[in-house]
Amino acid sequence: MSHCVCNDGEPRRRSHPVAGDVAVAVLFVLLDTATTLAGASWWPARPDMLAWVLLGVQAAACASLAVRRFAPFTVVAVLGGFTLLVTLLISPAGVLTPEPGAKLWAPFSTVVAAFGPLFYRKDRSSRRSAYLALALLAAVVARPWEPSFTVITIGVLRTTVGPLLGLYFDARRRLVMALTERAERAERERHLLAEQARTEERARLAGEMHDVVTHRVSLMALQAGALRMTAQDEATAQAAEDLRAGSCQALEELRDLVGILRTVPEGDRTPSVEGLRALVEESDAVGVPTEFTEVGDPELVSPVVGRTCYRIVREALTNVRKHAPGARVAVRIEYGQSRVRLTIRNGPPAGRPSSMLTGTGSGLGIPYLRQRMELVHGTLRAGRSEDGGFDVEAVLPAYVPTAEPAV
């Protein structure tokens, strides 16, 4: 099987945000610890064992910012719960007495925590839940049951700056995605227009060549015929006849050639996604057990993308038959509104591959598919799996505009 692993750098892109979240968490643990010890929050004038334990609990709560990207509601709940605990210990429990002055008991980490529910939510329908969680957090931080203009104002500001930034960056992110998709579609349409212009130019040049060359060669044939009729000796007449016959043959060949050039290509006859099941059945028939899973609506796929998916599956199954005899294969295709994900995985071979079969390929199957993927702005990854098998994964845009009818 061809070995071609496309290193798209995805692991690195995933590790950077996590490292950044951990760094932010450490920074706010140090900041809140320092400001608390400086008396800017709930720290008492004479700290006892309870105060030191609460300081450790606060550090742990602030450290939860490290997972704000994956569990934003949990981080809000942890920091809000800690703030509520400190508030209850101060009043009505009275077991904790902070230094005098109107202060917030909530750590500064709540500013970053309030950013998460709106910006990192995975489900767009959870916006109402995010607003509810932030409203509860604002109530706990601002303590409206203890009226204080300074505390309420700062508390509300602290819990609304993050959500407002979250809404702004979320809207900006969706705008950038929409503009990127529009630019990619415009680029694909530009390629199609250029291809259409090349076809039209080819037909025009073929017509001009036919008119010019046919005119001249026809004159040659007529002049050769006249020379044959007026020749004084047999050798000249024979030479004129050969010239006339050659001119007529050239005209016939030129007509065939120009006909080919003038003909608009009939298009790619490769089947689309509706032919995938037939490929799987062919593999089963020749002894390669293949499982086929189809998720979503195939009607979402444009013709070019469908044929590309067919070629990928065909190449992958051919490679399995050559290089992994007896291996089980799983083919899965997922149709989305904007993306199509195709996965072909085979296990380790059950026997030794035939040298006659492995020697028949050119080794250019996967590289050729990568070139086609670049034309449709898709990505392709292929390489050995940990169990000794082979994985092929492709992600393609669902829509690539063509002049053909949709599948």
Using one digit for the tens of pLDDT, what is the confidence trace for 133-150? Answer: 888 888 888 888 888 888
**Mean pLDDT (whole number) for 326-341:** 91
Helix (H) or strand (E) holding 197: helix 149-230
Pairing of strands 329-335, 379-384: unpaired
Cα(361)–Cα(127) distance, integer angstroms: 54
**Mean pLDDT (whole number) for 117-146:** 80
Q: Which two tokens stand for residue 69?
A: 């990207």
Q: Which two tokens stand for residue 64?
A: 């939860």
Band of pLDDT at residue 394, cut at 50, 70 and 90: very high
Q: Which residues contact 343 (CB under 8 A, 6 or more apart)?
A: 330, 331, 332, 333, 391, 392, 393, 394
Band of pLDDT at residue 156, cut at 50, 70 and 90: confident
Whether 134 contacts 113, CB under 8 Å? no
Pairing of strands 379-384, 390-397: antiparallel
**Mean pLDDT (whole number) for 336-360:** 77
Band of pLDDT at residue 1, cut at 50, 70 and 90: very low
For the cut 80, the answer to whether the pLDDT of residue 153 exceeds it is yes
> In whole numbers, what is the pLDDT of the chain averaged over residues?
80
Q: Which two tokens stand for residue 356?
A: 């006659």
**Mean pLDDT (whole number) for 138-167:** 83
**Mean pLDDT (whole number) for 359-382:** 74
For the cut 80, the answer to whether the pLDDT of residue 381 exceeds it is yes
This prediction's pTM: 0.43
**Mean pLDDT (whole number) for 108-134:** 79
DSSP H helices in 8-148: 10-37, 49-63, 72-90, 109-113, 116-119, 127-142
Burial of 123 (0-12, 13-18, 19+ CB in 10 A): exposed
Between 318 and 34, name the one with better pLDDT. Answer: 34
Cα(70)–Cα(74) distance, integer angstroms: 9
For the cut 50, the answer to whether the pLDDT of residue 176 exceeds it is yes
Least confident of 10-14, 31-35, 203-207, 244-248: 10-14
Q: What is the pLDDT of residue 147?
A: 81
Q: What is the pLDDT of residue 31?
A: 93
Q: What is the pLDDT of residue 125?
A: 56
How many residues does this entry show for the chain?
407
Strand partners, 339: 397
Band of pLDDT at residue 15, cut at 50, 70 and 90: very low
322 CB-side CA count, 13 A: 18
